[in-house]
Structure 1
């Protein structure tokens, strides 16, 4: 029988720490801290709500992160 794969660990990092940062700086910092996927979205973008371990989402307005959340 094939073992059940273990999902990758998610970085122990608070999304709130990215709010207010320049979008490029925030993405660079997130990748350095171990986020495997970083997604920057304009306000009001329609997205699917599936949770992806290791993904950090940014809502970016005028080049700055105004909201950040996991998944």
Structure 2
């Protein structure tokens, strides 16, 4: 998947709006739009299951965000 540098509709505040972006661009946009923490996760990565308000999780494969969610 090539990914894009263009934000998806609603990406600024919508935790699920970062899919398809290159990870670098997604991190930049997330921080610019007020996410307190951005966690990048590789496929199959171990992670804590605690929910943290203000944390954006990015599931990334080959440098492209496949899924994003708050917590």
Task: Report the TM-score range of the alignment, normalised by the length of the smaller protein.
Answer: 0.7 to 0.9
In 1, the alpha carbon distance for the partners of 2:15 and 2:50 equals 18
Q: Which residue of 2 aligns with 1:32?
A: 32
Structure 1 runs not aligned, ≥5 long: 1-11
In 2, the alpha carbon distance for the partners of 1:29 and 1:43 equals 22
Larger helix fraction of residues: 1
The Cα offsets for residues 9-66 of structure 1, whole Å up to 9 and x where unpaired, read as xxx8212210000000000000000001001110111111101111000000000000
Task: Name which one, 1 or 2, has greater alpha-carbon Rg.
Answer: 1
Corresponding pairs, count: 60
CA RMSD of aligned residues (A): 1.2
TM-score, length-scaled by structure 1: 0.79
Structure 2 runs not aligned, ≥5 long: 1-11
TM-score, length-scaled by structure 2: 0.79
